[in-house]
Structure 1
Amino acid sequence: MAIQHFPLKLVSRRMLAPTVGHYAFVRDDGQPLDYIPGQFIQVHFQYADGTATKRSYSLATIHDHALGAGEEVEIAVSYVPGGAATALFESLAEGGTINASGPFGRFCLAPNDANRRYLLIATGTGVTPYRAMLPQLEAQIRDRGIEVVLLFGARTPEELLYGDEFRAFADRVPGFRFVPCFSRELPADPHPDVRHGYVQQFLAEFSPDGANDIAYLCGNPNMVDACFESLKEYGLPVPAIRREKYVSSK
């Protein structure tokens, strides 16, 4: 898959949480974007002093095939106080363009996986690749009879990115379980699968199994490292624990 450089034109944006925006773009050169769910793009810009820099964003677009010309490229952007990328995105008007490259990354579902279950674990914007994977996961649940558990950590209900979408998917697709883990504040009327604490505290509840599970870890590096060590103790071989760390940059 060739890495391309291309302009992205902003179509719409909305706030997912107090400090996270959902941005929808289209390629402004009329070309398709050949990507696999789980991959990311890089956005290129300059600091105030003219120094070139870039930031990486996983594609959140729900799709089971490459994006055709004119189809929306969606990302979730965390706002960092004083951040150069935050300033870029906050000042971007609809119809404005940014420069991007990609796709990059191998944090994707493997076509030859023979597991019985996926354990998808995320914090913050680390959940965006799993949103993109939903059509693939639905097909695997249907075709292979697998189970999927999404453990998603957030501090408060208002910070649970795409939470309504994941709950609706879980309600519609038997075999998919959505387990939000809130470290600070629970919703007023919590679903039975809501947990109070950090995602790594609830791994034991799902009895990770080295013979049948493949795990994906995405988000806060401390969470990724803690879950990686725990999953190894449960017997998951290292190739069955796929990781991507998200570090906020100014």
Structure 2
Amino acid sequence: MALQPWRTGIVTRIEQATHNTRRYWVKVPELERFDFTPGQFVTLDLPIHEKPNRRWRSYSIASWPDGSNEFELLIVLLEGGAGTQYLFHEVQVGTELQLRGPQGVFVLPQDLQKDLYLICTGTGIAPFRSMLHHIERHNIAHQGLHLIFGTRSQSDLLYYDELRALEERLPGFRYLPTLSREQWQGCCGYVHNVYEDLVHTHQAAEGSLPHAQFFLCGWKAMVDEAKERILKLGFEKKDVVLELYG
């Protein structure tokens, strides 16, 4: 795919999602439609450094293709991070942003013939939100869909009510948020416990590993550990697809 040119986007809306995470809606006026494949990202060129490659920050698109020229980004404030400090303290509705995209190959397979385990932490939930709504919107045939989202506490949950509602509407979809530092009615602990339990339960019932593919998105430590654990469960490298943050 040819590299897209730099374009000017305009911030149309900003919403606080949690204490340190915001949702940014960006419109690209020169395009009638901003087309992308769910799971892709855009790169922003922020005025934070003289060297271009020190100004670039990439963020997964959190919305889904809807035929418009507007999309959503989900961004967490990083302590000492020049890019997010600028976005949180300087950018407001009406601010122009230089952007390039869509880019990336962290996308759904052509045929959803395997169970999908979508495993994420923090803002790594963004590309999976895009994928799941796209599946529902286009009534794409699929097997089981397991969204396993790890965060610290209930106050850090992202898109919670929306994803619970989607779970009711989308056949075969299970939303499994897990909290590492708070007890609640849902899953507790790290994401690894959740997907391992699902795999072991399937093995006990069926006598074999599930016919599955694992998509991992989030901080490097989580992604690296998950990949190692999934391979130890008996899956192959081709069954694991990665997108690293940070």
State whether structure 2 residue 215 is matched by structure 1 residue 205: no
Q: 1:168 aligns with which of 159, 165, 168?
A: 165
Cα distance in 1 for partners of 2:235, 2:220 equals 19
- Write out aligned runs for 1:1-250 (5 A): 1-2=1-2, 3-47=4-48, 50-52=50-52, 53-63=55-65, 67-68=67-68, 71-90=69-88, 91-115=90-114, 117-138=115-136, 144-187=141-184, 190=185, 194-207=186-199, 212-247=211-246
Cα distance in 2 for partners of 1:185, 1:214 equals 29
Size of the alignment, in residue pairs? Answer: 235
Cα distance in 1 for partners of 2:19, 2:149 equals 18
1:226 Cα offset (Å): 1.2
1:185 Cα offset (Å): 1.4
Equivalent position amino acid for 2:182 in 1: E
Please state whether the residue corresponding to 1:15 is helix, strand or coil. strand
The answer to whether the 8 A contact 1:79-1:86 is kept is yes
Equivalent position amino acid for 2:57 in 1: R
The answer to whether the 8 A contact 2:34-2:70 is kept is no
Gaps of 5+ in 2: 201-207
Dislocated runs of 4+, deviation >6 Å = none
Cα distance in 2 for partners of 1:137, 1:206 equals 22
Deviations for 1:98-152, whole angstroms, at most 9, x for unmatched residues? 101111111100113432x100000000010011112333368x55351111110
The answer to whether the 8 A contact 1:61-1:72 is kept is no
Cα distance in 2 for partners of 1:130, 1:36 equals 12
Cα distance in 1 for partners of 2:72, 2:199 equals 34
Counterparts in 2 of 1:114 and 1:173: CA distance versus 1, 3 Å:
closer
Counting helix residues as a fraction of each chain, which structure ranks higher? 2
Q: Report the RMSD for the aligned CA atoms in angstroms.
A: 2.0
Cα distance in 1 for partners of 2:142, 2:60 equals 27
1:62 Cα offset (Å): 2.6
1:33 Cα offset (Å): 2.1
The answer to whether the 8 A contact 1:62-1:135 is kept is yes
The answer to whether the 8 A contact 1:120-1:215 is kept is yes
Cα distance in 2 for partners of 1:200, 1:206 equals 10
Paired-residue identity, %: 29
